[in-house]
């Protein structure tokens, strides 16, 4: 996920681009760059780090060009660095591009271009675009762009400028977002509405398979065959602050709704048929591994419990998940036969990093799962796999959690495979994993239904989440979400442990949220639920099976998918439940009291 | 722990004995028996099972003897059976005894008696007593008893009848309890006051090293040299119901206060110098064990977490603790290299038994820790070790938990030893374990101090327990006790996980109970505590170190003992905290709502 922007008009371009990028910085802040263009040539400045660093570096008043493009990067291929930063230019420095998305087939294209004599400066997938345009360019940029996009597979939104057309910006879009619009001082394009909302509230939200040419006076839209099509104008009724949240009332809600896309991006290129493509793991030798620890904090610890449960099912070795703050001091048995998996959205969580350093010194192999490329964890782990969730702004984790679940499922099947024991159900799990973006989308459509159940929690001080086996992961995560943002004292129990004490807390009207999606134990969980109902509990049941309607007034259904994966759709419902409860209670959902986004202290 | 009783007087003895035993049945119900005596001989009837079964078996109106002794058994040596039941008689059936306690040196005595031609009927330690008396008896029972007690090591209270003295009962006492008293219809003796309270409120509570002779008209007390001493009469001001609770207002409080004794009994004979004596383990071959599971429910699961933490520190193998209800369905890796340790007070917990059956079938070795001899678990496990806590009547477990901690500590050091890796700190741990009865006694003396802190919780709806590493075991158990009996919504957290979400629940006046007794992490826990104080929490800190008084208003100290063992004294304080909170709130402490003592359903 990156942010891109372009401008051509009567004003100086640099301040317009920088301001636009600033509002897009939520989309990434690993590196930033701009290209300004006039008839004398291109001027490109880019650097690793945040936009503010780029601004400091440039003497803004000295740039008078009125056309340019800009980029703020969330690294997916290649570490954040000067060379990997956008924009990318051709060898003659006459064409410059910025790109948001992933070019899945960049490797064969790159090989072919190298055969044709092209030299590459960066490790990015994006650089192939500028060289392809250069290859096809014969005076008509639209024609060159048309030929280029026909070669590209994956997702992309692209902006192009060139010295031959110093007052034009070309754009093309597939899967990644792109909006364009005309204001009184020129034409604008960007990854997201807030970047151009200051100049116009009438925008064209480009559709997949569209290109456009921006000039100071007009914008023209074309299909990928180069045929002009009528631009569809959308009037944006809301203001800038709302726009930054994509029209959602909070970042958290926006991020909840970004999950189908985040999961799709996390899966992209990682499953081919029934094979898992995680080439980074090839360097590891897992043949002698006899113990696997999974370590994380908070939400990431819950992912660890999920992961160790799968490992225990699929491999005859020891698999343990521990919170990082306990693992560090728990005298774990770690040696060269140990694999440690570390999970951290930010890649900067203090306890997790310290644990990783410790097991490195003890000789273990390590795999990290992180969301922020180039974060500290990636410099310490043998291999780092990235969730492609994009920046998570809300303190309560949503899309990071579900994408971590997706990625660790792939990872663990792959590990089992590498140890010669691909699980029997791998094909079935992968099949349903590919459907997950649509399944999650369906869950999001239940938001109104969930909101009704949140009414039940609105005046509650307590809530009890119960479930068994893999449902316990949803139990933990659902309870954590509810307490984090609504301050309801939510508690998580193994359903089978209830009657060994905690059931004393259940009285008339207590709300119990129960998960029963695991075929082996669902019936037993239903019995435990009935025990709480006998004590007067109001139960909200989440299940994938038909349950006798007479028994349970409040049932939410998830689709019939492989039991390994049910905690993803279940969690979506629980996120919404926590969200609606918190808003009903008037809480500041994005900034819950006492909490910080990335915990970089112990 | 057993119950014994005796009577000689003008009434028929059998109904008096049976009624007395009934009120002592809380002390054991594995078997029951009586001996009635008159000048024609002894009549002994005994059987495995509860007293009611014995009563059914006997045609009560047909027994007119006016002297006799009775026994209800809590098995410690030898399984519950007809032969192992008391009373025990000599070969000529002229002397009969009942015994409560453990004769530690019974083996050499037994060997010597066998050399002298005595034949033994039972596997009990108690049977040596009757044969020793027989050996020394030359017409004067007091003289024979005096010689006998000089040979015995351990704990005992004994009642003796004989055909030569058909209207006399002799008693002797060391460590085990014995009360005697005279009513208008005769003289009475018993293990506990309730058994004789109906006949007299003026009793002699016998002291260690005392013997007594009871006749229908008088009681005479002697020291072990046979010198008469003045009997000290105690007037019992309370009624029968209170007496059954030993003068405590509830069974739970009684059981809390029984812990020094219960721990002493659990340790008895199991440590010799710096060696651990658990001969039952000799039959196990642990050389090829590479994985140990510890399985239990509720409180016993907490003991499992304690045990697996020790195993992880001391052995380079995989050690995992899981609630039984999860373990059964969690696809554990179990084979002949697996050792499973099962913990259940009653030995009848349904999920625990089912898990044990499962791992038996999978070929694992098993060790059970139970409190009830002959319970189902002992028939299934390869080896069963017993806590000697005596019957636990209150639903909330107290003495079972602390004695389980004591026993599993011994067990795990022993296992490590058997695997050739006796822990370096074993000597230090055993040293402090031997001191544990006194340490627990000191903790009980803090009850008034704890009660003041309970004031803080009296009006609270919630409470948060935090700690790290082994303190987390106290955290779990303290929170469980509080919720079980006071219905305060108590929650248990790893201190290091607080800031990853749960700290959102902390607000002005929230009560946080924090444990900081583990040297490696105490300072970090203190930081976490300060974070909660910064949000307005009222903190109760339990620690073994001096803490700056300015910082913490409410500090409870435990003594400086080996960090492995701190959760025993800490738990005593937390039991008292839960207890006082519950009574302040007016709860029925012995029978908390929704809960049953022994959970024999899933």
pLDDT tens by residue, B101-149:
888 889 899 999 999 999 999 988 899 999 999 999 999 999 999 999 9
C-alpha separations of A278 from A389, A412, A413, B77 in Å: 17, 11, 11, 61
Q: Which of A516-525, B414-423, B592-601 has the highest mean pLDDT?
A: B414-423
A98/A6 Cα distance (integer angstroms): 9
* B56 contacts: CB under 8 Å, gap ≥ 6: none
Q: Which residues in chain B touch residue A291, judged by CB atoms under 8 angstroms apart?
A: 318
Cα–Cα distance for residue pair B578/B576, rounded to 1 Å: 5
The fraction of chain B above a pLDDT of 90, given in percent, is: 72
Q: Would you say residue A547 has pLDDT above 70?
A: no
Whether A594 sits inside 8 A of B333 (CB atoms) is no
- Determine the distance in angstroms separating the CA of A231 from the nearest CA of chain B, rounded to an integer: 47
How far CA B464 is from CA of A592, B460, B486, B507, B571, in Å, comes to 19, 11, 14, 12, 15
Catalytic residue among B19, B147, B357, B597: B597
Q: How is residue A247 written in tokens?
A: 């029209």
Condensed to tens digits (0 to 9), the pLDDT of residues A355-364 reads: 999 999 999 9
Q: pLDDT tens digits for A306-348?
A: 999 999 999 988 899 999 999 999 988 899 999 999 999 988 8
CA angle B150–B155–B159, rounded 5-degree value = 75
pLDDT band at A300 (very low <50, low <70, confident <90, very high): very high
Verify whether the Cβ–Cβ distance A333 to B323 is below 8 Å. Answer: no
CA distance B276 to B212: 37
- pLDDT, residue B376, reads 82
- Are A501 and B298 within 8 A, CB to CB? yes
Sequence ranges of the domains in chain B: 3-241, 245-443, 446-587
Catalytic residue, from A458, A524, A545, A597: name it.
A597
Task: Return the closest-CA partner of residue B352 out of B14, B158, B600, B4.
Answer: B600
Q: CB distance A504–B484 less than 8 Å?
A: yes
Rounded Cα distance between B281 and B267, Å, is 16
Can you give the pLDDT at residue A201? 87
- Region B75-90: what's the mean pLDDT? 82
Instruction: Write down the mean pLDDT value for chain A.
Output: 92
Tens-place pLDDT, residues B208-227: 899 999 999 999 999 999 99
**Active-site residue, selected from the candidate residues A2, A189, A340, A567:** A2
Q: What are the pLDDT digits (tens) for B157-204?
A: 999 999 999 999 999 999 888 999 999 899 999 998 888 988 998 999
Say yes or no to pLDDT of B429 above 90: yes
B159 is catalytic: no
Quote the pLDDT of residue B425: 96
Contacts of B298 in chain A (CB under 8 A): 497, 500-501
Inter-chain residue contact B594 with A297, CB threshold 8 Å? no
Confidence tier at B242 by pLDDT (50, 70, 90)? low
Mean pLDDT of B586-602: 77
pLDDT, position B579: 98
Would you say residue A265 has pLDDT above 70? yes
pTM score, whole prediction: 0.78
Q: Which residues of B fall within a CB distance of 8 Å from A296?
A: none
* C-beta of residue B130 within 8 angstroms of C-beta of residue B90: yes
A138-147, A424-433, B56-65, range with the lowest pLDDT: B56-65
Residues B274-297 have a mean pLDDT of 94
Which chain B positions have a beta carbon within 8 Å of A332's beta carbon?
Answer: 312
Per CATH, the architecture of B3-241 is what?
A: 4-Layer Sandwich (3.60)
pLDDT band at residue B38 using 50, 70 and 90 as cut-offs: very high
Question: Could you tell me if residue A30 is left (phi over 0), alpha (psi between -120 and 50 degrees) or otherwise beta?
Answer: alpha
Phi-psi region of B460 (alpha: psi -120 to 50; beta: other; left: phi over 0): beta
pLDDT at B547: 60
As given in the structure block, the two tokens for residue A157 are 């939104």
Over residues A170-187, the pLDDT tens digits come to 999 998 889 999 998 999
Enter the DSSP assignment of A408: H
Query: Tokens 């544990």 belong to which residue?
Result: B436
Model confidence band, residue B517 (pLDDT cutoffs 50, 70, 90): very high
* B-chain residue closest to A314, CA distance: B331
Q: Is the pLDDT confidence value at A388 over 90?
A: no
A245-443 shares its CATH topology with A446-587:
yes
Confidence check: pLDDT of A480 > 90:
yes
- Read off the pLDDT of each residue in B287-292 and give the average, rounded to a whole number: 92
What letters, b where the CB count within 10 A reaches 16 and e where it falls short, cover B496-531?
bbbbbbbbbbbeeebbbbbbbbbeebbebbbebbeb
Tokens representing residue B366 in the block: 């098993």
Whether residue A374 is predicted with pLDDT greater than 70 in this model: the reply is: no
CATH number given to A446-587:
3.40.50.10490
pLDDT of residue B48 exceeding 80, the answer is: yes
Tokens of A468: 């068994």
pLDDT in tens, A49-96: 888 888 888 887 889 999 999 999 876 666 678 888 999 999 999 999
- In chain A, which residues have their Cβ closer than 8 Å to the Cβ of B497? 297-298, 301, 323, 325
DSSP-H helix ranges across A487-591 = 522-534, 567-584
Inter-chain CB proximity B317 and A330 less than 8 Å:
no
Pairing of strands B67-73, B3-9: antiparallel
Answer for the pair A137, A96: CB distance below 8 angstroms, yes or no. no
Does the pLDDT at position B489 exceed 70? yes
Tokens of B228: 């008469």
* Average pLDDT score, chain B: 92
d(CA A363, CA A334): 7
Spatial separation of the C-alpha atoms in residues A63 and B1, rounded to whole Å: 93
The distance of B441 to chain A (nearest Cα, Å) reads 26
- In Å, what is the CA distance from A503 to each residue of A393, A535, B158? 37, 9, 44
Inter-CA distances, A79 with A49, A75, A87, A369, Å: 11, 6, 15, 15
Q: What is the dihedral of CA B215, B220, B221, B222, to 10 degrees?
A: -100
Cα separation of B20 and B194, whole Å? 8
ipTM of the complex, rounded to two decimals: 0.77
Q: Give CA angle at A295 (A294, A298), nearest 5°.
A: 125
> Are B4 and B99 in contact, with CB atoms under 8 Å apart?
yes
Residue A297 known to be catalytic? no
CATH assignment of A245-443, given 3.30.465.10, 2.30.30.60, 3.30.750.24, 3.40.50.10490?
3.40.50.10490
Which of A496, A517, A522, A593 to probe the B interface (max B CBs under 10 A)? A496
* A365-370 β-sheet, strand order: A318-323, A291-296, A338-344, A365-370, A383-386
CB contact under 8 A, A595 and B496: no
CA B553 to chain centroid, in Å, comes to 35
How confident is the model over B308-329, as pLDDT tens digits?
Answer: 999 999 998 889 999 999 999 9
């Amino acid at each position: 996920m990156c942010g891109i922007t372009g401008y051509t008009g009567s004003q100086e371009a640099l301040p317009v681009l920088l301001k636009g990028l600033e509002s897009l910085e939520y989309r990434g802040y690993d590196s930033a760059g701009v290209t300004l263009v006039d008839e004398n040539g291109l001027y490109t400045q880019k650097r690793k780090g945040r936009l503010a660093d780029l601004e400091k570096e440039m003497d803004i008043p000295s740039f008078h060009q009125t056309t340019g493009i800009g980029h703020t990067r969330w690294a997916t291929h290649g570490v954040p660095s000067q060379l990997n930063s956008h924009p990318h230019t051709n060898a003659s420095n006459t064409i410059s591009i910025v790109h948001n998305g992933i070019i899945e087939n960049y490797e064969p294209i790159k090989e072919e271009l190298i055969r044709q004599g092209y030299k590459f400066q960066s490790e990015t997938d994006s650089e192939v675009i500028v060289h392809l345009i250069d290859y096809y360019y014969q005076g008509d940029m639209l024609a060159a762009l048309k030929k280029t996009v026909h070669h590209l597979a994956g997702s992309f939104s692209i902006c192009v400028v060139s010295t031959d057309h110093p007052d034009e910006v070309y754009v093309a879009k597939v899967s990644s977002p792109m909006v364009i619009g005309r204001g009184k001082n020129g034409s604008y394009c960007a990854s997201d509405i807030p970047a151009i909302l200051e100049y116009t509230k009438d925008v064209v939200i480009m559709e997949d398979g569209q290109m456009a040419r921006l000039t100071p006076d007009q914008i023209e839209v074309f299909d990928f065959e180069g045929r002009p099509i009528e631009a569809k104008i959308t009037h944006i009724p809301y203001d800038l602050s709302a726009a930054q949240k994509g029209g959602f009332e909070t970042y958290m809600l926006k991020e909840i709704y970004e999950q189908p896309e985040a999961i799709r991006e996390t899966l992209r290129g990682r499953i081919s048929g029934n094979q898992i493509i995680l080439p980074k793991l090839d360097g590891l030798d897992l043949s002698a591994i006899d113990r696997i620890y999974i370590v994380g904090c908070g939400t990431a610890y819950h992912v660890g419990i999920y992961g160790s449960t799968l490992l225990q099912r699929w491999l005859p070795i020891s698999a343990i998940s521990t919170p990082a703050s306990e693992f560090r001091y728990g005298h774990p048995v770690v040696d060269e036969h140990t694999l440690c998996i570390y999970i951290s959205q930010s890649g900067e969580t203090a306890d997790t990093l310290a644990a990783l350093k410790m097991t490195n010194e003890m000789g273990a192999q390590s795999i990290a799962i992180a969301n922020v490329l180039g974060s500290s964890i990636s410099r310490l782990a043998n291999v780092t796999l990235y969730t492609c969730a994009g920046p998570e702004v809300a303190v309560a984790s949503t899309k990071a959690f579900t994408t971590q679940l997706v990625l660790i499922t792939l990872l663990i099947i792959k590990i089992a495979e590498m140890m010669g024991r691909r699980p029997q159900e791998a094909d079935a799990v992968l099949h349903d994993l590919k459907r997950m973006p649509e399944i999650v989308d369906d869950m999001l459509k239940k938001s109104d239904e969930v909101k009704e159940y949140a009414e039940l929690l609105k005046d509650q001080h307590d809530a009890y989440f119960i479930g068994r086996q893999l449902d316990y992961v949803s139990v933990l995560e659902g309870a954590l979400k509810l307490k984090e943002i609504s301050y309801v004292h939510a508690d998580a129990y193994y359903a089978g442990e209830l009657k060994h004490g905690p059931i004393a807390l259940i009285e008339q009207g207590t709300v119990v949220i129960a998960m029963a999606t695991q075929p082996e134990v669902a019936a037993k969980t239903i019995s435990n639920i009935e025990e709480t109902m006998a004590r007067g509990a109001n139960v909200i049941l989440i299940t994938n099976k038909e349950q006798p309607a007479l028994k349970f007034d409040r049932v939410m259904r998830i689709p019939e998918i492989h039991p390994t994966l049910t905690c993803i759709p279940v969690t979506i419902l629980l996120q919404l439940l926590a969200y609606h409860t918190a808003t009903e209670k008037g809480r500041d959902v994005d900034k819950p009291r006492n909490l910080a986004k990335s915990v970089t202290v112990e």
